[in-house]
Structure 1
Amino acid sequence: MSNPIESSETSSLKGKSAIVTAGSRGIGRGIAIHFARKGLANLAITYHSNKTEAEKTLSKCRELGVNAIAIQADAMDPAIGPKILKDALGGLNVTTIDILVNNAALSDISRVADVNNMQAEHFNEIMVANAYTPVSLMVAFMEHAPKHGGRVINISSLVSKLGNSDPMITYGATKAALDSFTRSFANTFSTATGITFNSLAVGPVETDAFAMVNELIPGFHDMQIEMTSAADRVGNVEDIAYIVGFLASEEGRWVNGASVSANGGYKQVLALFG
Structure 2
Amino acid sequence: MTEQRVAVVTGASRGIGRAIATTLAASGLDVVVGYAGSRTAADEVAAEIIRSGGRAVIAQADVADEKAVAAMFDLAESTFGGVDVVVNSAGRMSLAPLAELDLAELDELHRTNIRGTFVVAREAARRLRDGGAIVTLSSSVLGLRLPTYSAYAASKGAVEAITLILARELRGRDITVNTVAPGPTATELFLDGKDEQTVDRMAKQPPLERLGTPADIARVVAFLAGPEGRWVNGQLLRANGGIV
Q: TM-score, normalised by structure 2?
A: 0.92
Pick aligned residue for 1:104 from 81, 87, 90: 90
Q: CA deviation at 1:206?
A: 0.9
1:254-274, Cα deviation, whole Å (9 max, x unpaired): 1111110211111xx2xxxxx
Cα RMSD (Å) of the superposition? 1.9
CA distance in 2: counterparts of 1:240 and 1:219, whole angstroms: 24
Question: Contact conserved, 1:19 with 1:43, CA < 8 A, in 2?
Answer: yes
Residue 71 (structure 2) aligned to one of 70, 80, 83 = 83
Report the CA distance shift for 1:80/1:176 in structure 2 as closer, same or farther (over 3 A): farther
Q: Determine helix, strand or coil for the equivalent of 1:105.
A: coil
Residues 233 and 171 (structure 1), Cα distance of their counterparts in 2 relative to 1, 3 Å cut: same
Matched, 1:138 2:116: no
- 2:186 and 2:212 in contact (8 A); partners too: yes
In the other structure, the counterpart of 1:6 is none
Alpha carbons 1:186, 1:197 under 8 Å: kept = yes
Query: What is the rounded CA distance, in whole Å, between the counterparts of 1:203 and 1:68 in structure 2?
Result: 29
Contact 1:47 1:70 in 2 (8 A): yes
- How far did 1:213 drift? 3.7
Contact 2:33 2:58 in 1 (8 A): yes
Instruction: Determine whether 1:26 maps to 2:9.
Output: no
Structure 1 residues 14 and 244, CA gap change in structure 2 (3 angstroms): farther
Structure 1 residue 16, shift from structure 2 partner: 0.9
Which ranges of structure 1 fall in alignment gaps of 5 or more residues? Answer: 1-12, 270-274
**From 224, 227, 234, the counterpart of 1:247:** 224
Residue 156 of structure 1 aligns with an amino acid whose one-letter code is S
Q: Could you tell me how far apart the structure 1 residues matched to 2:198 and 2:40 are?
A: 30
Q: Secondary structure at the match of 2:32?
A: strand
CA contact (8 A) 2:26 2:54 kept: no
Whole-angstrom CA distance in 1 between matches of 2:28 and 2:40? 24
Distance 1:32 1:14 in 2: 19
Which residue matches 2:238? Answer: 261
Residues in 1 aligned to 2:198 and 2:66: alpha-carbon distance in whole angstroms:
35
Distance 1:20 1:248 in 2: 12
Alpha-carbon deviation of 1:195?
A: 1.1
| Structure 1 residue 153 corresponds to structure 2 residue 135 | yes
Q: Distance in 2 between matches of 1:246 and 1:237?
A: 14
Q: Does 1:174 align with 2:155?
A: yes
1:80 shift after superposition? 4.0
Task: Give, in whole Å, the separation in 2 of the partners of 1:184 and 1:234.
Answer: 30
Structure 2: give runs of 5+ residues left out of the alignment.
none
Task: Find the counterpart in structure 2 of residue 128 from structure 1.
Answer: 111
> Aligned residue pairs: how many?
243
CA, structure 1 residues 33+125, in 2 after alignment: closer, same or farther (shift >3 Å)? same
Distance in 1, Cα, partners of 2:67 & 2:100: 29
Alignment of 1:8-23 (within 5 A): 15-23=4-12
Partner of 1:211: 191
Aligned match of 1:196 in 159, 169, 176? Answer: 176
Q: How much does 1:119 deviate?
A: 5.3
TM-score by length of 1: 0.83
Task: Kindly provide the amino acid, as one letter, of the partner of residue 256 in structure 1.
Answer: N
- Residue identity over aligned pairs, in percent, reads 30
Matches within 5 A, 1:30-109: 30-40=19-29, 42-90=30-78, 92-94=79-81, 96-107=82-93, 109=94
